[in-house]
Amino acid sequence: MFGMTHETFLLVDALVTIVGLVLLITTFKVHPFVALTLAAGFLGLTSGMPVEKVMKSFQDGFGGVLGFVGIILGLGTMLGKLMADSGGADQIAQTLIRTFGKQKVHWAMMFSAFLVGIPLFFEIGFVLLIPLVFIVARRTGVPIVKIGIPLLAGLSAVHGLVPPHPGPLLAIGIFGADIGKTIFYGLIVALPTAIIAGPIFGNWISKSIPGTPSKELMDQIAKESSTENLPGFGITLVTILLPVFLMLLKTLADVVLPENNMFRIWMDLIGHPITALLAALLLAFYTFGAARGFDRSKIMKLLDQSLAPVAAIVLIVGAGGGFKQMLVASGVGDVIGHMAVQAQINPIMLAWLVAAVIRVATGSATVATITGAGVVAPVVGLIPWVNRELLVLATCAGSLILS
């Protein structure tokens, strides 16, 4: 077609589709869900797929991703909402700030954001903790940049690299990675990343950019919150880290125990991400709910409120799954995979590079993760030795570039 081989045409078609996707989001300000749906349909029609299979492929990819990720997002959002409204996030931050003291308050802010960010989306964690940045800056006289950058680094590292956040979960679903191993590796990568980009960089850059806010802004944002009836620090950590512990325990059981071992069989159920998050949510009904004086109607109201903000994310993640499936069904994925193998391109580096380019172009970490994982996923079947968990982290790391 057009004087090109079929493989070359598919590559050009995919490139045009991705460029069009970027332009729809950045130039024409089309919602990512609509843009991904249009891009998937365009790729299917122009690649020569039978017309009747175009939307069927998109539908299969959409449902395949949300069958797992959608449930996880719903449970995680509910858990995060209960922690936020019960004061659990405040308790973590205040306890760590008291423990670290004035001289190391920027370290306290990073660790607070890191822990609070496990069950909370980046935006929600930021809104919850940013008043503390201003409060601490006013009390201690520490430059606000020195405190604020560690907050952003802690939240961003966890949100981008550690499940059950949308980006890592989506990449796990596309690559078929093990969620327990991904959490383990993700924590190993995320913590040093947050330390370097947070307290270390923040301490250095604050000497050049003091960043002193006006008194009016300080008074508006730095509102002291009540410390009465907050959940304890220990029980808060137990509640939010329970799903992480159960998923890691499942992975450990799979590694050290034989396949027919009864404990391993039960841990496969208990440590499944859905079961683990459900267990944490049930515990939170008491620790963040009943123990704080919330009745059943109050808890139900909070759960209902938690689901509205996640609707757009669910649709974007689903559309990303549909777009990935279109890359596979159209044959583009096989072409990319064979080219990567022949050129001896490391798929881990390829995943990072594609995600990084899309992130710089669109400014969206979620779209970058979706596109990067979709492009690289076919390579996995052709290079069996590649570590799928590291592919997830490489894609997610690329999506965080220039954040």
69-117: pLDDT as tens digits: 888 889 989 999 999 899 998 899 889 989 998 889 999 999 999 999 9
Is 388 found in the same domain as 347?
Answer: yes
The pLDDT of residue 193: 95
**Stretch 230-251: mean pLDDT:** 93
Q: How confident is the model at residue 220 (pLDDT cuts 50, 70, 90)?
A: low
What number is the average pLDDT over the span 343-358? 88
The domain total for the chain is 2
Q: Is 150 in the same domain as 237?
A: yes
The verdict on residue 204 lying in a domain is: yes
pLDDT at residue 202, as a whole number = 94
| 1 falls within a domain | no
For residue 73, CA distances in Å to 69, 126, 128, 273, 274 come to 6, 18, 19, 11, 10
Q: Which domain holds residue 374?
A: 6-63+311-399
Would you say residue 277 lies in a domain?
yes
- Please check whether residues 31 and 152 belong to one and the same domain: no
Residue 376 lies in a domain: yes
Number of neighbouring beta carbons within 10 Å of residue 385: 5
Same domain, 73 and 179: yes
Question: Is 317 found in the same domain as 300?
Answer: no
Say if residue 177 is in the same domain as residue 233: yes
- The answer to whether residues 199 and 339 belong to one domain is no
Report the SS3 class of residue 198. helix
Q: Which residues contact 162 (CB under 8 A, 6 or more apart)?
A: 118, 168, 183, 186, 187, 190
* Least confident stretch, 104-113, 191-200, 222-231, 242-251: 222-231
How far CA 208 is from CA of 106, 120, 147, 189, in Å, comes to 16, 32, 14, 28
Domain C-terminal end among 283, 310, 337: 310
The rounded percent of the chain whose pLDDT value lies above 90 is 51
Query: What number is the average pLDDT over the span 131-144?
Result: 84
Give the residue-averaged pLDDT of 48-55: 92
Assign residue 344 a region (left: φ > 0; alpha: ψ between -120 and 50; beta: otherwise).
Answer: left
